Amino acid sequence: MRHLLTTRDLSRDRAIALLDIAEDMADVSQREVKKLPTLRGKTVVNLFFEDSTRTRISFEAAAKRLSADVINFSAKGSSVSKGESLKDTAQTLAAIGADGVVIRHPASGAPHVLAQSGWIDAGIINAGDGTHEHPTQALLDAFTIRRRIHGAASRGKGLDGVRVTIVGDVLHSRVARSNLWLLPTLGAEVTFVAPPTLLPADTSGWPATFGFDLDAAIDARPNVVMMLRIQAERMSAAFFPTSREYSRAWGLDDARFNRLGTDSIVMHPGPMNRGLEISSAAADSVNSTVLEQVANGVSVRMAALYLLLSGDREDA
């Protein structure tokens, strides 16, 4: 694998292979000595032009567990705030000798520009670009679902027949757009439920079904309910039902949570708006995988770094 920019071009076999490597990495993380020497001598740069808690620290933990050197770069406090371009920033990282760049950027497509530019010869991982994609989030979501369903027998398996309902601010969600491609590739059936104003106008070609009624979706007893964060920072007031309207119609409140099956999985990529898209009872329940998703993110990101930075980088 040369870069990880999108889940759209991942084949089923390749996705399952990555999840299986993540299982191996999770085994390493259980050991007393959590480190592998695999990426000793490699340098990974976390290049974050947008805020992050989970993604940035889990990539840092993942790289360190593989013995890579890690440089954390935040646009705030850097020469980006003086107007330095992505090109000059990338060429600076190339001069430092970066082998891998994990980039989060507010502009959709920025990681693709970096990968295709020739400014830097490094493996590029998209850690979230605008409203476009967040591939490692979808991979850790798939890993988490697979583990909850198949447990210790997960290796080699997809998500065949698993019914996943993704709820909320689909319009602005890069998590939704990466899960949109990956989960059906693995055999899952995906339904999106959202206010009409928070679904994209054009969803042609999306391998999913769509609805506006969360109560009907809950009564269909999905295996997985994935709540999305309301991204208030990306929307104007015209888009948004009021908070009260939103939580009443599209929030996973206590009453809706109690109607789910006892073995239904409740997911959220974080950060959560408690009381808006999800109640604390749902977020903190045994059905919730919110913290498992964070822990599994380290294993999945170790697998991605391993595939990009160890040995020869393949073009696929």
The residue from 2, 28, 36, 54 that contacts ligand CP (CB under 6 A) is: 54
The residue from 269, 277, 283, 303 that contacts ligand CP (CB under 6 A) is: 269
Q: Is 135 in the site for ligand CP (CB under 6 A)?
A: no
Q: Is 130 in the site for ligand CP (CB under 6 A)?
A: no
The residue from 100, 111, 123, 128 that contacts ligand CP (CB under 6 A) is: 128
The answer to the question of whether 270 is labelled as a binding residue is yes
Q: How many whole angstroms separate alpha carbon 104 and alpha carbon 124?
A: 11
Q: How many whole angstroms separate alpha carbon 134 and alpha carbon 120?
A: 21
Q: How many C-beta atoms surround the C-beta of residue 280 within 10 A?
A: 11
Q: Is 296 in the site for ligand CP (CB under 6 A)?
A: no
Q: Is 137 in the site for ligand CP (CB under 6 A)?
A: yes
Taking a C-beta distance cutoff of 8 angstroms, is the pair 35, 302 a contact?
Answer: no
The answer to the question of whether 150 is labelled as a binding residue is no
Residues paired with 288 in a beta bridge: 266
Taking a C-beta distance cutoff of 8 angstroms, is the pair 193, 213 a contact?
Answer: yes
Q: Is 64 in the site for ligand CP (CB under 6 A)?
A: no
Q: At 1, which amino acid appears?
A: M
End-to-end, the C-alpha distance of the chain in Å comes to 5
In 49-117 the beta strands, taken as DSSP E runs, fall at 69-74, 100-105
List Cα–Cα distances, 162 to 158, 165, 185, 206, 226, in angstroms: 9, 10, 12, 17, 13
The answer to the question of whether 134 is labelled as a binding residue is yes
CB-nearer residue toward ligand CP: 241 or 270: 270
The answer to the question of whether 2 is labelled as a binding residue is no
Q: Looking at 83-91, 150-158, 244-252, 264-272, which segment touches ligand CP (CB under 6 A)?
A: 264-272
The residue from 7, 38, 46, 52 that contacts ligand CP (CB under 6 A) is: 52
**CB of residue 153 vs ligand CP: minimum separation in angstroms?**
27
CA-wise closest residue to 300 among 134, 97, 78:
134
**CB of residue 49 vs ligand CP: minimum separation in angstroms?**
12
Binding residues for carbamoyl phosphate: 54-55, 104, 134, 137, 270-271
Q: Which residues bind ligand CP (CB under 6 A)?
A: 52-55, 128, 137, 269-271
